[in-house]
Chains A and B, each alone.
Chain A
Amino acid sequence: MTKDYLIERNGKKYEVVIGLEVHAQVLSESKLFSTSPTKFGSEPNTQVSLVDAAFPGMLPVINEFCIKQAIKTGIGLNAKINNKSIFDRKNYFYADLPQGYQISQYKDPIVGEGSVVLDLTSGSKTVGIERLHLEQDAGKSIHDIDPKNTLVDLNRSGVALMEIVSKPDLRSPEEVNVYIKKLRSIMRYLGTCDGNMQEGSLRADVNVSVRKQGDDKYGTRCEIKNVNSIKFMQMAIEHEANRQVDILEEGGKIDQETRLFDTKKNETRSMRSKEDAHDYRYFPDPDLLPLEFSNDYVENIKKEIPELPDQKKARFIEKFKLSSYEANILVSDLDTSKYFEAVIENSDVKISSNWITGELFALLNEKNLEITESPISAKNLSKLINLIKDGTISGKIAKTVFEMMAKGDKNPIDIVKEKGLKQQSDPAELEKLIEKVINENQDKVKEYKSGKEKLFGFFVGQAMKVSGGKANPQLVNEILKKKLK
């Protein structure tokens, strides 16, 4: 068990209670209620239809694909799928909200309660999901291009978002880290959200409260709006929890409010209090009928659901006898798991797992690449592992070969051949080589035989050196032992 995350102040310990509202952009060709494309990074205002810009008389028409994506995600979160849900209008004025309202789901979301299992170093933990609902994203207001005016880019306006609301079940910045990564992993497996936080495909509102360890009542919470990286979420939680503890320790009261996280100053600050909270005047959107579908519809979607991380992990442990830790690393990213399965198709599981999580991850990390961009293909890594397994090359030589492979995904068999790196495993050859070493070092042989057994390593080293590192170390050991008797 790792230590609980607690904040200590004046001898008292405070527990931090965290709930997340994650906004995940639905992976879809077109927007939630219009046919405009959703591609990220296009020229401003080039992916905007009359519906997205809220021209007079324009009406929303639901994109069925986005509905399926939300249902899939709901299934991935082990959640209740609601056969009837309602789109509501959330009314507020802002320059990048062309309709003057956001179409969202309020009282009747498409997905109800569910759960997500987190694999923590202390064991697994289940986090409750309160709901998932669909809504439109807003456009972007750009304040720093023109000195006097705010510019508006509506490319993002109307893109489908899933808001995934967790229960207040998270207790530390680390749990938040694992939770976000798990959500992202599930959605990437499902193909419902690319989880790209840099492009804003995944962002979260973070609810934080604190209470004395052992209290069963929640403290007053503050909501930190729109945090767009895991690191910032963790920093914001840490700062906010400490701020709240300080207030309580000084005998103060926490005000329920919405706060913003300033990433430059590493602090949260008040955006608006509960009294100033917007009255969004939610009401069912009369332009859209209630969204209804049958159980069969959901059942058919279930058939399209791929193996998800939890199931895959269980399979890896069961079938490949991997440890829970190894399995976790390999399944957390769909592409990693695919790469792994491709490698082990023709290779030893254990060596493959070690090489992927060791050498390959280090290489990708160093070059800042995704596994899909790996300079070494699964096919060639598999060949390398087979060369190790059948004793053609030693582990040490393998690392050299790996480095060469990284420069251009060459076939390791060719590299070994070209560079003559094949391990010397012919006992007759090795015997000759070892005899030479012994003959040239008679003084050391004497010392060894007189009891200085530590010198055995010296002879191994010499033999390897003479072979140019290619001698099979195991055989060298065996032969040396015989000869030095």
Chain B
Amino acid sequence: MSKIIDLSLSELVSNIKNKKISSNEATSAYVERSKKSKSLNAYNEETFDSALKKSTEFDLKPDFNKQLPGVPIAVKDLFCTKNVKTTASSKILNNFIPTYESTVTQNLWSSGSILLGKLNCDEFAMGSSNETSYFGNVISPIDKDLVPGGSSGGSASALAAKLTPATIGTDTGGSIRQPASFTGTVGLKPTYGSCSRYGIVAFASSLDQAGPMTKNVKDAALLLEVMSSFDNKDSTSVDFKRPMYSKDLSKNIKGKKIGIPKEYRVDGMSEEIEKLWDDGKNYLKDCGAEIVDVSLPHTKFALPTYYIVAPAEASSNLARYDGVKYGFRTEGDNLIDMYEKTRSAGFGDEVKRRIMIGTYVLSSGYYDAYYLKAQKVRRLIKNDFNNIFQKVDAILTPSTPSSAFKIGEKSNDPVSMYLNDIFTVPVNLAGLPGISIPAGLDKKGYPLGLQIIGKSFDEQNILNIAYSMEDKINFKFNLKEWWMND
């Protein structure tokens, strides 16, 4: 039998169900490996002791009917976890311990899984490289000095380094799919309204969506099945019949029409990405799918639209971090002085930048020119997708314009950093599901991903397409474990 940490989530589940591996054995294996991997800086908070205790308890009274029986899982530190510090990687929340549980994590625990710890991310999920975290940047196990992507960088790094059998992230403009692409893992952003936002530290409410990050497509289907639920505590949660994604998973995509949007062939895109995309088309053809050239004419407006809408919502969402009720406070001479000192010291540069952008675009005199116009363009972008989905079943694009970059390479150039999200952002603006799967390596040997975008609530379809392609691609990455210390 292969080592526990090499098993996929689905394999681990069946091994536990078949009593070949106990929850405690699995948990111990991941705890041990996590302890040897501190140099990656993937964890903000470790709950190893309580995880081991819970695994023992599970083994004493196992319930094998659960979907994730006794499975240890580390989660992004944006999900509020009861009695476990939740910081959103921000100084302003660095002492915050929620008395409540997010719906998505509650769904995990209700399915039998066990919290391993809270994973590093960009501060308030604002970033594409996990360099904005108050607790320092995360390092990718792919190579030294390489960013894991962001904002779910800790999640991607921990997953790729096998510190957790699967993980969950949040995706506002690509924060699941881009780091998945950078680390050779699978990341799915569900349709807006599929997973409850209750208890997730909000970044941009109309775009935020939690999703699974896994070693393979089947695991993503299984984890989504657990995470997704209708929740009346979130007014934007949608009550639809949720399929059993993992049971219904199929490699039969014969006759499916897959659109290739020409606008995603951006200036300066490398030949490697071009080739990756072409290979993707060929794999799909091999599976019996039909390739259709399509146009999403408003694509070029997606990034500027996103960088108006997301900061606008963020500027308001982050107003609650004022030092009055919880979290970090710097005393001041009066209320305003306390606010200014608290927020100056409590937020990092990128968060402040976005609060300022957001405040600006909502200001009277600028609202119509920026926020209102962005909302109108957002509608056009949605319409583009709606039109295309009359003709095709899904869309194939690269996940990112390049492979992972070096730590520090873009941290002083926000615009070039923002450009990283160019292929993922339109999906959030349209509220659609998108999945990134590892599809190849670039010249440096770094992973590259392909993205499949589906219709609203058609996760099953993109999972099936990804599942079929996964087989053909047969992605392999030789992880060298250079970061481990004994």
Residues of A within 8 A of B (CB): 50, 53-62, 89, 91, 93-95, 98-101, 150, 152, 279, 281-283, 286-289
Contacts and interface: CB of A to CB of B under 8 A. Distances in A.
Contacts of A99: 319-320
Contact of A56 (B86, B233, B322, B367): B86
Given A91-B319, A100-B320, A54 B325 contact: yes
Given A57-B197, A98-B325, 18 more contacts: A50-B100, A56-B86, A56-B202, A57-B98, A57-B102, A57-B199, A61-B233, A93-B339, A98-B324, A100-B318, A100-B320, A152-B324, A281-B316, A281-B362, A281-B364, A283-B312, A283-B371, A289-B236
Contacts of A281: 315-316, 359, 362-364, 367
B359 to A, nearest CB: 7
A139 to B, nearest CB: 10
A57 B232 contact: no
A322 B335 CA distance: 59
16 contacts: A55-B326, A57-B201, A61-B235, A62-B235, A91-B315, A94-B335, A99-B320, A281-B363, A282-B362, A283-B312, A286-B204, A286-B205, A286-B206, A287-B205, A287-B236, A288-B236
Contacts of B200: 57
A150 B333 CA distance: 12
Contacts of B99: 50
B80 A56 contact: yes
- Sorted nearest first, the 7 A-B pairs with minimum C-beta distance are A100-B319, A281-B362, A286-B205, A286-B206, A57-B199, A54-B320, A56-B201
A93 B322 CA distance: 8
Contacts of B235: 59-62, 287-289
Interface in B296-319: 312-313, 315-316, 318-319
Contacts of B204: 286
Contact of B316 (A62, A91, A94): A91
B312 A93 contact: no
Contacts of A91: 315-316, 319, 362
A283 B362 contact: yes
Classify the secondary structure of B's interface with A: loop
B96 interface: yes
A56 B364 contact: no
A279 B326 contact: no
A288 B197 CA distance: 12
B93 interface: yes
Given A281-B362, A286-B313, A287-B236, A95 B335 contact: yes
B80 A150 contact: no
A98 B335 contact: no
Given A54-B325, A56-B80, A98 B234 contact: no
Given A56-B96, A289-B235, A100 B325 contact: no
B324 to A, nearest CB: 5
B367 A53 contact: no
B109 interface: no
B198 interface: yes
B478 to A, nearest CB: 39
Contacts of B326: 55
B322 A100 contact: yes
B336 to A, nearest CB: 8
B404 to A, nearest CB: 29
Nearest to B232: A61
Nearest to B87: A56
A58 B199 CA distance: 6
B88 interface: yes
Given A281-B363, A287-B235, A57 B320 contact: no
B364 A279 contact: yes
Contacts of B320: 54, 56, 98-100
Interface residues of B, number: 43
A148 B40 CA distance: 46
Most buried by B among A89, A93, A289: A93
B431 to A, nearest CB: 12
A338 B326 CA distance: 50
A94 B319 CA distance: 10
Given A56-B96, A57-B197, A150 B335 contact: yes
Contacts of B371: 283
Contacts of A62: 235
Interface in B193-236: 197-202, 204-206, 232-236
Interface string B411-425: 000000000000000
Interface in B370-429: 371
A62 B233 CA distance: 10
Contact of A57 (B80, B322, B325, B362): B80
A150 B338 CA distance: 12
A326 B320 CA distance: 54
Contacts of B313: 286
A150 B324 CA distance: 11
B316 A283 contact: yes
B364 A101 contact: no
A59 B198 contact: yes
Nearest to B312: A283
Contacts of B198: 57-59
B88 to A, nearest CB: 7
Nearest to B371: A283
B133 to A, nearest CB: 16
Contact of A101 (B316, B335, B359): B316
Most buried by B among A58, A150, A282, A288: A58
Most buried by A among B86, B88, B322, B324: B324
A50 to B, nearest CB: 6
A59 B319 contact: no
B179 to A, nearest CB: 21
Interface string B71-102: 00000000010000010100001001011101
Contacts of B86: 56
Nearest to A56: B201
A35 B234 CA distance: 14
A279 B364 CA distance: 7
Contacts of B202: 56-57, 287
Nearest to A141: B335
Contacts of A289: 235-236
A37 B80 CA distance: 25
A455 to B, nearest CB: 83
Nearest to B198: A59
A283 B367 contact: yes
Contacts of A50: 99-100
A91 B313 CA distance: 11
Contacts of A152: 324
Contacts of B206: 286
A89 B265 CA distance: 38
A425 B417 CA distance: 105
Contacts of A93: 319, 322, 336, 339
Nearest to B362: A281
B322 to A, nearest CB: 6
B223 to A, nearest CB: 20
B114 to A, nearest CB: 21
B261 to A, nearest CB: 27
Interface string B273-309: 0000000000000000000000000000000000000
Contacts of B96: 56
A380 to B, nearest CB: 51
Contacts of A287: 202, 205, 235-236
A50 B325 CA distance: 11
Most buried by B among A53, A59, A60, A282: A59
A148 B336 CA distance: 15
A150 B336 CA distance: 13
A370 to B, nearest CB: 39
Nearest to A284: B375
B235 to A, nearest CB: 5
Given A279-B364, A283-B362, A286-B205, A100 B197 contact: no
Most buried by A among B197, B325, B339, B367: B325
A100 B234 contact: no
